[in-house]
Chains A and B, each alone.
Chain A
Amino acid sequence: MKERFKKILAVSLAGAMAAGVLAGCGGSGGTASSSAADTNTSASSASSGSSQTSGAVKEVSVWHYFEHEAQALEKVAEDYNSSQDKIHITCTYVSREELMKQYTIGAVSGELPDIGMVDSPDMASYISLGVFEDIDDQLQEWGELDKFYAGPLSSCMDSEGKLHGLPNNSNCLALLCNMDILNAAGVDTPPTTWDEFYEVCKKTTDAANSVYGFAMSAIGNEEGTFQYIPWLYSTGADVTTLDSEGAAKSLDFLGQLVSEGLMSKEVVNWGQGDALNAFAAGKAAMVESGTWQIAQFDSGDVELNCKYKYALLPKDKENASVIGGENFGVCAGTEAKDECVDFLKYMMTAQNNADWCETAGKLPVRSDAAELKDFWTADERYAVFNEAMNSAVARGPHESWPTISEAIYTAEQAALLGEKSGTDAMAEAVAVVNPILEEVPIAAVK
C-alpha cells in the first residue's frame, strides 16, 4: 500500500517537473509550443485562406482587436469585397493580448495573418522582429502619403524610414471634468494650468465620501506610460531628457497629488478603463480621458450621470498630449502582398478614413480626411481632442520602446507610491533609457 502510494506520487512528481520545465520554456520566444498550439486552429484557418490561389479570388486575412469598432471595420471590408472580384478580405477578431503574443510567436513559426493590426508604439518592435513586410515602394507610388499626419505615419517606419504599414486612426488625451462637482466647489471652468489644476483638485476632493480630485492610469504597462507622457512633455522635458529638472518636477507634482490625498494611490493598479469607471461613479472630479471614450459614453457602455466637459490637459510650460492609435501592417511571408497593399490603400483613402473614424469615434490620420466632415469640429468634445492633437507627441518610434516604457512607468510608480523622489526615480529610468537611445536614437519626426 505504502509502496504504491509512493509510486503514484513519484509519477505525479515527474509530471509536475515536466510542467515546470514547460512553464520555464514558455518564457522563451521560440519554444512556446503550447501557446502556439492554442491558437493554431485559428491561425491555420485564417492563413490557409491566403494560399488558396485557385480561381480568381485571392483570400486575405485581417486580424484586429477592435471591439465596439469591429462592425465598422467589417463594413469597410464588405464594401471592398463587393467593389471588386479579385480579392476577398476576411476580418478576424483576436484579443489584443493574444494577438501581440501571436506576432512574437509568428515571427518564429511564420504563422501570421496577411494583414495585422498593432498598437502604434509597438509597431517599431515588430518591424524589427521581422513581423511586417517593407511596403515602402508600393506606398510611395501611391502618391498620397503627404496627406498623412507625420506623427502617426512615422510609427509605421523602420529605423531607415521605410514604411511597413499605414496608420489607421489616432487618438490623444484630454481632461474630462465632472462639472457638477466642479461647480459645487465654486469652479466654473476647467483648469488650464498646473497651479489651477492643483487648486481645483484640492477644492473638489472630499475625503469623507472618498471623492478624489483627479484620477488617471499609472498602471505598470504601456497604458501607464501613455497617460504620463503629457505631464512629462508639459514641463518642456521629453523622453531624451529624463534627467532634466522638468522630468523630476512632473513626477513630484503627480506624487504630491497622491501624498496629499487628491488622487487615489490605487491609480498604480488602474488601467484607463478603471480610472474612467472611478470618474463615472462620481469618485473622481476629473480624469485623464482618451478620444475613444467618447464613443463609450454615446453608446451607453459607460454611463455618465453628470454634466461633463472636456478641456485640454492643464499645462506647466506648454500644452502637451500624446498620440495613440492603431496601425495596419502587411505581415511577412504573405502570398498576397500586392493585394494586401491594395486593401490598405482602399481602407485609407481620405473618404474611407473619414467615414470609418466618424463611425468608430476616432480621429482621422489624414489631413484631407479631417477636412471632409465637420464631425471633429462640430462636436465640442471631439473639437477639444482635435486641438489637443496639435501638441500631441508620438511615443518613439523605437524598436526598444517597451523597455523604455517600462523604465518610465516604473519611475512614475515609485514616485506615486512615495518610495522615491522625482529626481531619484528618474535617475533610475535614465540609467536604462539613455544607453538605449545612445545606441539607436528616436527618429526625429515633427
Chain B
Amino acid sequence: MSIAAKKRLEGYGFIAPGFLYVLLVLGYPLVYNIILSFKNVDVKTFASGTSKFVGFANYIELFHDPTFLLVLKNTFVFTIACLAIQFTLGFLLALLFSQKFTFAGPIRGLVLVAYMMPMSVTAMLGKNMFGVTEGVINDLLMKIGLINAPVEWLVSSSTAMIAVIAVNCWVGIPFNMLLLTSGLTGISQDVYESASLDGANKFQRFFYITLPLMKSSILAVLMLGFIYTFKAFDLMFIMTSGGPLNSTDVLGTYAYTLSFTKYEFSQGSAAALVLFCCLFVIGLFYLRLTTKEDD
C-alpha cells in the first residue's frame, strides 16, 4: 500500500467515529422522521400496521390548518422579537462591561446567573412573576403608576406572548452579552487609539471600527440566537402549555402535542420537519456567509 493510500485510510479512520455517531444519532431519527411524515400513522393505524404512504397529505393538511398557521406565525414573532431585544440589550451590556469600572466583573457575573438557570426553573419563575393578582410584575407596574389595573398577562391571548418573550429575553440577554464580549475583547486597543488620534469620535469609532470588526461574532450570535429561540419548547410548555387558545404555541410545542397528546404521529413529524427545514435554511445561510468571508 502506498503511503498516500495509507494516509487516506488513516484520515477515514479519524472521521469514522464522528461519522458513525452523526449517522446513528442524527441520521437515523431524521430519516425515520421524514418517512413518518409521509405516512398516515395515527392512533388508528399505529398498532394495526395499516399505515400507508400518503405523499404530501400531512403537509397539505397542516398548511390548511388555521392553528398551524397561527403556530408558524407565533414561532416567527417570538424568534424575531426575542432576537431584536436580546441582541440590542446584550450588545449594550457587552459594551458597558467592556469599560473598566469598579465591580464590572462581579456585576457581569450576576447578569450571567439568568443564563445559567435551567429553563424549567426560569419558566416556573416567569409563570409566578406574571401572575395577574399575585405576580410581582403587575405589583411593580402598579406601584410606579404605569398601569391602573392588573394586566392579564398569561390569561389573555393578546398579552401572553409578550410575557413569554420577556422571560426568554431575560435568559437571552446574558447569552448575547457573553458571546459579544468575547468578540469585543478580540479587537485590539491599538486600532481605537490610532483612530482617536485621527480625530474619530465615539460614534465613528463604534460604527467604523467596532461593528465591522465584530461582523463575524455578530453573525454567529444572531444565527445561534435564532436557532436557540426558534426551537423553543420548555419555556412555553411550562409557562403556558402553549395557551391560552394557542397564542403561545410554537412549532416545538405544537409538534409535541400532535404526537404525544393526540397521537397524530405523522402530522407531528411533519410539523417537526417544518421546524427542521426552517433551521436548516438558516444554517445554510450562515455557512454561505462565513465561507464567502473566507474567500
Q: Name A's B-contacting residues (CB within 8 A).
A: 1-2, 5-6, 9-10, 12-13, 16-31, 33, 100-101, 104, 107, 125, 128-130, 210, 219-221, 264-266, 268-269, 399-400, 402-403, 406, 410, 413-414, 417, 419, 440
Say yes or no: B227 contacts A17, CB within 8 Å: yes
Interface size class on chain B is 35 or more
Q: Which residue of B lies closest to A100 (CB)?
A: B260
* Interchain CA distance A100-B220 in the complex, whole Å: 39
Which residues from chain B sit less than 8 Å from chain A, CB to CB? 22, 25-26, 28-30, 32-33, 36-37, 41, 43-44, 46-47, 131-133, 152, 154-157, 179, 182-183, 186, 216-217, 220, 223-224, 227-228, 230-231, 233, 240-246, 252, 255-256, 258-265, 268-269, 271-273, 275-276, 279-280, 283, 286, 290
Which residues of chain A are within 8 angstroms of B182 by Cβ–Cβ distance?
Answer: 5
Q: Are B244 and A107 in contact (CB under 8 A)?
A: no
Chosen A-B contacts, 28 in total, with CB atoms closer than 8 Å, are: A5-B186, A5-B216, A9-B224, A16-B228, A18-B22, A20-B279, A22-B25, A27-B256, A27-B269, A28-B33, A28-B259, A28-B265, A29-B260, A30-B36, A31-B32, A107-B46, A128-B44, A219-B243, A220-B243, A220-B244, A264-B132, A269-B240, A269-B243, A269-B244, A399-B43, A402-B263, A413-B244, A440-B44
Closest to A5 in B: B186
Contacts of A23 in B (CB 8 A): 231, 233, 252, 275
Shortest distance in angstroms between A56's beta carbon and chain B's nearest beta carbon? Answer: 34
CB distance A400 to B272 under 8 Å?
no
Question: Would B231 and A19 count as touching, CB distance under 8 A?
Answer: yes
Residues of chain B contacted by A21 (CB below 8 angstroms): 26, 29-30, 276, 279
Q: Verify B272–A128 contact, CB threshold 8 A.
A: no
- Tell me, in angstroms, the Cα distance from A44 to B59 when the chains sit together: 37
| Chain B interface SS verdict (over half) | helix
Min CB distance, B219 to chain A, in Å? 9
Q: Report chain B residues within 8 Å CB of A25.
A: 29-30, 32-33, 272, 276
Measured between beta carbons, the chain A residues less than 8 angstroms from B33 are 24-25, 28, 31
Q: Could you say which of A27, A399, A413 contacts B259, with CB atoms under 8 Å apart? A: A27
Chain B residues whose C-beta falls within 8 Å of the C-beta of A210 in the assembled complex: 133
CB closest chain-B residue, reference A9: B220
Given known pairs A125-B43, A129-B43, A129-B46, the reply for A266 and B269 (CB within 8 Å) is no
